[in-house]
A and B are shown apart, each in its own frame.
Chain A
């Protein structure tokens, strides 16, 4: 029985360039002398460092703990000494450094104690936390923490689980090699996913240009106790996009602004399934991955690389050639330039593509957009790239969002077919990051407004409270003094019963009351002053007492001297 497949809108056929790297066997890259492990390797909160400089760490030890729900831990990829925790180069287009932990390896590659997990006996939430602490994140490129994706949420189950072996970008073959060599482990990881998500239908989508991988996966699927359907999908870029693969396999479209889980489908990359299998079945965290090193190198091939290995060592391993014009992380369509090749391999690094002028000639100079809408024909997200370009260029971000800018998957089909050679995707990326920045600014402004308003309110309240308190106190004192006055009057009257009560004495005026208040306050102050004495002068031993007396005597003498006019002054007049 062959499955009925569907065709997503748009897409392009690209020269594949897969044979360069998938004809050589998979090798493990040697242990580098220094590992640089960034703490921000996934989407969400960066990991928090939990080791100190100078500390010895073992292979697989957590060096950065997950911080919050959407986060993942990072681990030491080998044993050694932590030599630095600080900013270091990371593979990011901006060239800006980020917080990394540097480990000087000791060559012993000594593992920390680890054991397989009995995942079927564990509570789902505990297992997900374990997955988070094992550092598992989506290895297809987005590096979204897998623990979050493995939570079926309110629906309690996700009926369809799709394993993405599409790998549609040219040049990249790491998923292909992984499926060929480790199909069994990948499916073990799928079993864990199935357990957590409660999926009933499991599909593995692989582009039909990878017959060996399809065969290997099908063979491995035979020996499982649950059904896994390995489906060959037509080779058309970008079939490997999650939403495109979902549509190809199921015919369902993920609505704009929603996730595939909203229609009961979850998608994971094959690399993620493999990493999950390693974590659960061997207790090994995500410390290595397969990386394709290809393009302008002598021996394009795939390596199993420890996270944190400098990128240039991989290029050297594959044989550096003259005339290279930089390297991309990722493929030619979506890959981004790496400004500093000292930067390490991270969880997201699927491919190092070394460029040369012969393989990737620089883009011809751009011409103005002629609105031919070829980009709209190939856009797999069904957008109007020419309009989005216009809005992004003029800074009309509101309209860009109305035209579903955020549905753009940055696949690069539009730029690829543009006859004017406009780097369209760069404009979309610019517009997206500008919109995010503005939203952030807006939130900051709202917070500032709220805090300012609260401050105004607080100041007004404090002022009122102070005034009330003063008024109450004045009232109390006035009442007290009035009572005192009455008592005094009575006493005077008792002494001189014959004297007739004069009008003045009977009704003390306001001025008298104030005078009485002031007198009372003065008396209180006097009493307080008299009552206060330094506390460290009581119960002194005789020695100290004597010393104090001596000092006091000296002071008196000095005081006396100070009062006497100086001899010189005396002589002056």
Chain B
């Protein structure tokens, strides 16, 4: 009887030690669920969801503090993916946070730009180059189209230009086939 209790106690202590050690040794940095959610979000960093960037929104979703339908650039498809990941029902986009728009890039009218650097400070992905009293320009390939630079501009020289379809960006359309009506 005593041996059995002793054996169990020793086992419990040993297992406890191993578990305790591995909890410290293999600690997962950050929230893995937030990582997965962040991978689905479009990384526009536009803040339309009410959070300062995609990462904070992902963390809020992971904590259950935010709904999954607040991201207009992600659109219906993004919501569907999030719903799938979280095992909840997809819901329509919350229009209060904006509506999906065609993908665009910011364009600075260089004639009007006064070089105030306000847009550079607003850009969440450092996609505007320029310096004080120097002309600014948008690095189109890096621009996420978040529109955050438009409001701070004191001379309204930034406009959002939708990306026109050109040959390298052309996609095959979904084939529309007329089905024969069978009486």
Contact = CB atoms under 8 A, between A and B. Distances in A.
Interface of A: 40, 90, 92, 94, 96-98, 364-368, 422-423, 426-427, 429-430, 432-434, 437, 441, 444-449, 451-455, 458
B18 to A, nearest CB: 35
8 cross-chain pairs, A with B, having the tightest CB-CB distances, nearest first: A365-B180, A426-B175, A445-B43, A448-B43, A451-B125, A430-B172, A433-B172, A433-B171
B144 interface: yes
A92 B167 CA distance: 9
A451 B142 contact: yes
B178 interface: yes
Contacts of A429: 172
Contacts of B178: 365-366
B66 interface: no
Nearest to B143: A448
B124 A455 contact: yes
B173 A430 contact: yes
Contacts of A96: 165-167, 170
A446 B45 CA distance: 12
Contacts of B179: 365-368
A164 B54 CA distance: 52
Interface residues of B, number: 30
Contact of A426 (B127, B166, B172, B182): B172
B126 A422 contact: no
B1 interface: no
A453 B53 CA distance: 10
Contacts of B125: 448, 451-452, 455
Contact of B45 (A426, A434, A448): A448
B2 interface: no
Q: Which of A92, A368, A427, A449: most chain B CB closer than 10 A?
A: A449
B103 to A, nearest CB: 9
Nearest to A445: B43
Q: Is the interface of A mostly helix, strand, loop or mixed?
A: helix
5 contacts: A98-B167, A427-B175, A448-B125, A451-B126, A452-B125
B43 A367 contact: no
A444 B42 CA distance: 9
A452 B167 contact: no
Interface of B: 38, 41-45, 53-55, 124-127, 142, 144, 165-167, 169-175, 177-180, 182
Contacts of B171: 430, 433-434, 437
B126 A364 contact: no
Contacts of A444: 43, 144
A242 B182 CA distance: 41
Q: Which of B124, B166, B177: most chain A CB closer than 10 A?
A: B177
A365 B43 CA distance: 43
Nearest to A92: B167
A90 B168 CA distance: 13
Given A447-B142, A451-B126, 20 more contacts: A92-B167, A94-B165, A94-B170, A96-B166, A96-B170, A97-B167, A426-B172, A427-B175, A430-B172, A430-B175, A433-B172, A434-B172, A444-B43, A444-B144, A445-B41, A445-B43, A448-B43, A451-B127, A452-B54, A455-B125
A96 B170 CA distance: 9
Contact of A366 (B172, B174, B177): B177
A362 to B, nearest CB: 11
Contacts of A368: 179
A119 to B, nearest CB: 34
A458 B124 CA distance: 12
B62 to A, nearest CB: 16
Contact of B126 (A423, A430, A432, A455): A455
A90 B43 contact: no
Contacts of A452: 43, 45, 53-55, 124-125
A364 B175 contact: no
Q: Which of A368, A429, A451, A458: most chain B CB closer than 10 A?
A: A451
A369 to B, nearest CB: 11
Contacts of A426: 172, 175
A89 B180 CA distance: 35
Contacts of B169: 437
A23 B54 CA distance: 66
A430 B167 contact: no
Contacts of B166: 96, 98
A94 B53 contact: no
Contacts of B165: 94, 96
Given A40-B167, A451-B126, A445 B177 contact: no
A427 B174 CA distance: 7
Q: Which of A364, A422, A426: most chain B CB closer than 10 A?
A: A426
A422 B174 contact: no
Contacts of B144: 444, 448
A251 to B, nearest CB: 35
Contacts of A434: 171-172
A423 B167 contact: no
A448 B44 CA distance: 7
Contacts of B45: 448, 452
A40 B170 CA distance: 14
A208 B123 CA distance: 64
A308 to B, nearest CB: 17
A446 B124 CA distance: 14
Q: Which of A92, A96, A98, A446: most chain B CB closer than 10 A?
A: A96
Nearest to B127: A451
Contacts of A445: 41-43
A451 B124 CA distance: 8
A365 B179 CA distance: 6
A97 B168 CA distance: 11
Contacts of A430: 171-175
A274 B25 CA distance: 65
Nearest to A453: B55
Nearest to A458: B126
A430 B170 CA distance: 11
Contacts of A366: 177-180
Contact of B175 (A90, A423, A446): A423
A451 B53 CA distance: 12
A94 B167 CA distance: 8
A422 B177 contact: yes
A138 B166 CA distance: 24
Nearest to A365: B180
A224 B169 CA distance: 47
